Amino acid sequence: MPNNSTKTKKKDFLFKLSSSSPSIDAAWYVINTYSGHEYKVIDALKTRIRTMNLEDQIFQAIIPIQSKMIIRRGTKIKSQEKTFPGYVLIQMIVTDDSWVTVRTTQGVTGFIGIGNKPTPISQAEVDLILKTTEEDKPKFQTPYSIGDVVKIINGPFNDFIGTID
């Protein structure tokens, strides 16, 4: 009999990088990181912002994640997956000092933009990403895909073999 309990591990997605509140000049930018190093980049940025005294120029960071429901061994597991692996959104005022500090942080490969100039994303896009991240409705993920051959192990069609359509 399957166990219908749900396990979950909640991950943070919004990080305050400085004690200052964002000014009107601050915009959101996307930085590219090594995939899987997003949380390490956030930790490194917090340290660098403090040591370089840039708390009035770099404010917040977001790692977009979404909830997924997976069934493993009869147990529903609610997991969280990065929506954009290898990318972090950062709210900052771009100056030469802040750009170099973020760009040379260990794990960061660069800003998203044209040439060497980072391109800001709109607040509407950030709000949409935050909304989908904060939603607690998990998407259901099955271990099967179209065309897979499966064997029925329970019920009236026990021991039948079929194909997923």
Segments forming the whole domain that contains residue 74? 6-163
In a domain, 72, yes or no: yes
Is the pLDDT score of 163 beyond 80? yes
Between 49 and 15, where is the model more confident? 49
With respect to residue 110, please indicate whether it lies within any of the assigned structural domains: yes
pTM of the model: 0.71
- 138 confidence band (pLDDT: 50, 70, 90): low
Measure the CA–CA gap between 53 and 102, rounded to whole angstroms.
13
Note whether residue 1 is domain-resident.
no
Q: Is residue 13 part of a domain?
A: yes
The enclosing domain of 64 has a CATH number of 3.30.70.940
For 36-87, the pLDDT digits (tens) are 888 999 999 999 989 988 888 888 998 888 877 777 777 777 777 888 889 9
- Structural domains of the chain, count: 1
The three-point CA angle 104-108-109 to 5° equals 95
Tell whether 41 is covered by a domain.
yes
